[in-house]
């Protein structure tokens, strides 16, 4: 009987190690997916305002960092990871065909993508 109990205990200990390993792996997966879900890309019209911020954002220059960070904070994100000009062809279907932001002849809005993170 002692031998049988000893085998049973060894099997139980190995099962517990397996359960703990699976739980740890699941926790790592959940943490990784939560971190990935905290990123969002905003596509906004890049209208000239006379201050040159539109050129800073579109070129990805350092002068656009403050504007991009402010935009992210206004959307309850911590900071901007990146910002860049986006071609109209890259966002087909998201650009209005009528109203503000519509492209009429040579009068077309430019667009900027700002990637924000929490």
Q: What is the pLDDT of residues 23-82, one digit of tens each?
A: 777 777 666 555 555 899 988 877 766 667 777 888 878 888 998 999 999 999 999 999
For residue 117, the model assigns a pLDDT of: 94
* pTM of the model as a whole: 0.58
Q: Nearest CA to 95 among 113, 117, 82?
A: 113
Report DSSP state, residue 42: E
What tokens were used for 101? 């932001």
HSE (side-chain half, CA atoms, 13 Å) at 99: 2
40 Cβ contact list (under 8 Å, min separation 6): 75, 77, 115, 116, 117
pLDDT in tens, 101-117: 566 655 566 788 899 99
What tokens were used for 75? 């959307």
């Amino acid at each position: 009987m002692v031998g049988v109990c000893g085998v049973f205990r060894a099997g139980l200990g190995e099962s517990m190690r397996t359960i703990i390993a699976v739980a740890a792996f699941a926790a790592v997966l959940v943490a990784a997916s939560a971190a990935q879900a905290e990123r969002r890309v905003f596509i906004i019209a890049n209208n000239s305002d006379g201050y040159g911020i539109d050129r800073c954002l579109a070129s990805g220059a350092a002068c656009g960092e403050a504007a991009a960070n402010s935009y992210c904070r206004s959307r309850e994100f911590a900071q901007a990871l990146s910002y860049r000009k986006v071609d109209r062809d890259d966002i087909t279907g998201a650009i209005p065909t009528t109203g503000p932001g519509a492209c009429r002849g040579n009068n077309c809005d430019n667009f900027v993508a700002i990637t924000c993170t929490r």
